[in-house]
Every structure is written in C-alpha cells, then in structure tokens.
Structure 1
C-alpha cells in the first residue's frame, strides 16, 4: 500500500513539473537552479516572477505554475536550497534582488509581474522597491513588512525555524497543523506537499534566515505606487492576518483579500480561490499596466 501511495505522489510531482524547463545557471557570481514555464512560447501576458518561502524548493510551488497555463512563470531555488549549490558567502535582499535582475537579463526578460509567499513575500517587496522599472504588479501572500510585524504563534514559529521540517517527514507530518493550520483538508494534499519538499543545506537555510534579519519595507512602502494584491489567511499561525492589514495600510495602491479558513499554506488549501484572484488582479487593465512599468 505504501509503495502505491509513493508512486501516486511521484506521479503528481512529475505532472506538476512536466512542462518546466530546469537548469543550473551562473548568475551574478552564483550558481542557481532555475525553473521556467512557457517562457519560450508566445504570450499576451508578462512572465510571473515568483519568490518562494524559506527553505522551500521549486517543486513545492510547481502546482501554481501549472495552474496559470497562459502565463510564463519564473522561479529559482535560493543558494543552498533545493537544487541550488551551496552558498559561499551570505546574501541580503539588495544583493539577491540585483542577482534576480541578472537572471532576467539572461532569460531575455525585461518587465515582470512579481509574486512572493512568506519569506519570499519580503523578497518580492524589496525587488519591486529596488527595481520598479522591471516590476508591473505585485502579489504578496502570507507575508509581512519585515521586522515591523505582528509575530505568529510561538509554537509555530519555533517549528518553522527548525530545519527538521524539511529533513524529517515524520516531524513535518506530526507538526503540520501547528505549522500550517488545519485547512488543507484531504490528507493526500498534505502528503503531496511534504513529498515535494527537498531538505535545504544547513548553511543555505541559515543564510536564508540571516538575509532578512533587521530588514523592513515599512518606511518605503507608502512611496511605492505598484498595484499590489495582498492574500492572507485568517487562520495563519505563522503570519497572522494583522500583518496583511498593516501591508494594506502602508501600500497606497493595494487591495487585501482574506482566505477564510486559510492557514499559512492557503495557496494549496485554497488553490482555486487563489488562482482566481491572481487571474483577476493580473488581467485587470493589463495594457495600461504595461505602460506604467515602462
């Protein structure tokens, strides 16, 4: 029975990655594992650049790329995360945003829509602030403005910082509800997510934690004019909904959408709702948005 479940999970993983083009690329003095979807195909839409959560590899969010089949999609593993080689020196949002522009140049992409979840939401904010000319619209999911934030449940945060959640599947399954809330519903969805995760290297995970220490976007967000969609779950134990309200107040041209019953992984548990909101937001006034980003 276990072998059949493992085969089914492998099949789901293969299906989510079947259209991805994956390669190790030298970018800005680093080696990064990069995945693109449909970047070589004609499209009326800008590519969506996605920044992942802490410790999470490309495969963890591959279903989202597959759920947006009309859009090119770009994502990469942070140094020492997923399939990206071990980092030699630390990085911060400034250097990694610059590195991302070098990647876009290599891919022949000028302007993008930008999305980030959790830790990646902070990176998405910083990228949009540092490189406004390359950013059209911004989507922030389950994230905060950095150190000026309302902290989550201490039990959830302590387990979130523990790399065993990636290394030890039993640890992850035992503490899944504490970490991500109970809204994933079907157990197979939970196991599919766990099956997609690849353990980060200890140094890669530490450098990713280190990158955001002392960082905040709060003083700059009132001056950022990008249209921004903020997605939050009202049962998120790691990033409480209050952080979404704070982002919504700080960003002048923003809208907040609350996923009812959504925990920290509402992109999975509420995938249909999230995809519908992403479509609506990115498709609205797309032509005028392209001229604004120029």
Structure 2
C-alpha cells in the first residue's frame, strides 16, 4: 500500500517477490531518452525520504526500493552481504522489464551498495553517483559520539531523541532549522525486525578500496562540507581513487539530497544527461596530488 505522503505522488508503488524476498518498490516513469536511475537509500531509510529529490529529477525514470527489513520490505531470515543485494537489484531490474543499462545513485550506506553494484555489473551500470558516502570500513571515521548514535535505530522510533541528536548527526541545514527535523520525522518508518542490524552487518568488513580503480563508470561524487556521519575527506578519497570521477562539494550536511533537493537534482540531472564536463582530465591532477600526500 502506498505511503500517504504528498511528496511521493510521482512514485508508483508495488510489491515484487524475488525468490521469496518481497521488495517494496517505487517507480517513476520518465523519458526513454535516458537510462533509468536506480537509487540506493541510506541505512534504515524508507523510499519516501528521497521523494522530494526524485520529484526534482525532471524526466529521468527512477527505480527505488526498500532494502529488506526497511520500510515496506519484510526482513529476511538471515543476514546478507552487499553482493547479495547487488545481485537482487539486477534481478529486480530484469523483472521490471529494464533489460538495458541503468545509472546508479547511492546515498550513505546505499553508496556502498551502489559501488558494489557498479563493480559486479559493469555492463548494466552506465554512470555512477555517490552521495555522502565512503569506501567502507577503511575510511576516516566520524566522531565516536556520532558513531555510537548510529549503531542503534532509536532515532527512527523516538521523536524526542531525534530532535535532541538530529542536528549533531546530520549537520548542515539540520543544525540550523528544527523544522527540517520535524519534516524528517513525519516521513520515516522504524526499521522492521533485525533489518537495521542486518544493514550494519552488511557493512562489517566491507571495503571498496582494493578495487575502486577498476570501476569503469564515469562517476560523480557529491558530498556536504559539514557531514558529521561521513567526513568530507572520504569523498576526496573516492574521487581520487575512481579513474573517471569528479567531486562536487555542497555547502550542507549529510542529508543534502533532502534539504537542497532542487539544486542537487539539477546537478545530478546534468551529469546523467552528459551536460557536465567529462571528469577524467579534471580529476587526474588531483588524484596524483592526493597520492603524493
């Protein structure tokens, strides 16, 4: 059943069964002139949270789904790895009739899944957008206080707790505008069963650093300059290690896809449609500079 959010009006919601795992999937049909965009959401995040950003993507077709154990997707019986979800995504696209190449966008935890999908399915994945994410466990970590608050999903079920810690963990506009936190609270759904902890386990021991240079996709790395969860230097590492990548820094925090949806959607749309300058030369000197440090 579709979540009663006005901002999700452009998404067609359906339940898809894939080998015993039901996924709640949102589809926004756009122009056939561009490959569809698959969006991988952050930890514990149901698909409605990115509806404002999706609404701003103009004519791009979008596929987004609740990860097992999140939103409307039931939790699986056993934990999973990112490789499992990458394979599940490929099967989902085929089931939905998307047999050609797609673009992928991953946010935070979903950015790790997007990297895994791009690595396992280089023909399927044409372009890659990595937002507010890192190369995995081998990263420059957040402050211990922020890390501890992320280890439990309490912010999804306790409105008072979210109001207390939201500005400190999300940063940027969420520090300055309490109304954003209230809007965020109205849109979230508490993770189901062990879903949140399965997402944490998927991240355990995972790192893309050994194979980042093998990614063939032209990649846009977007990051906020006030991100307490994933410090900006992690985006710089991604952009330096991926061969065909460019870095775009936003004056905001971890949830800039929501707080600055329209501005970021314009940048992403331009990148996906090939209107931005190709990043190979732009990032070459920066990569060498980073390695020399």
TM-score, scaled relative to structure 1: 0.89
- Residue 139 (str. 1) matches residue 133 (str. 2): no
**Structure 2 residue aligned with 1:98:** 87
**Structure 2 residue aligned with 1:216:** 207
**Structure 1 residue aligned with 2:285:** none
1:169: Cα distance to partner? 1.1
**Aligned positions, number:** 273
Which of 39, 59, 68 is the aligned partner of 2:48? 59
SS of residue paired to 1:132: coil
Matches within 5 A, 1:5-84: 14-38=5-29, 42-84=31-73
- Residue 112 (str. 1) matches residue 95 (str. 2): no
1:69: Cα distance to partner? 2.9
SS of residue paired to 2:236: helix
1:202: Cα distance to partner? 3.8
Q: 5+ unaligned residues in a row in structure 2: which ranges?
A: 279-293
1:93: Cα distance to partner? 0.9
After superposition, give the CA deviation of every residue in 1:204-228 in whole Å (9 maximum; x if it has no partner): 1111110111001111111112100
1:15: Cα distance to partner? 2.1
Determine if contact 1:259/1:270 at 8 Å carries over to the other structure: no
**Structure 1 residue aligned with 2:236:** 245
1:13: Cα distance to partner? 6.3
TM-score, scaled relative to structure 2: 0.89
Whole-Å separation in 2 of the counterparts to 1:195 and 1:180:
16
Determine if contact 1:13/1:59 at 8 Å carries over to the other structure: no
- Residue 283 (str. 1) matches residue 253 (str. 2): no
After superposition, give the CA deviation of every residue in 1:67-104 in whole Å (9 maximum; x if it has no partner): 11301110111111101112112111111111111100
Whole-Å separation in 2 of the counterparts to 1:162 and 1:179:
13
SS of residue paired to 2:38: strand
After superposition, give the CA deviation of every residue in 1:36-66 in whole Å (9 maximum; x if it has no partner): 111xx55211111000000000111111111
Whole-Å separation in 1 of the counterparts to 2:10 and 2:262:
20
- Residue 129 (str. 1) matches residue 119 (str. 2): yes
Q: What RMSD over aligned residues (CA atoms) do the two structures have, in Å?
A: 1.8
Whole-Å separation in 2 of the counterparts to 1:267 and 1:143:
12
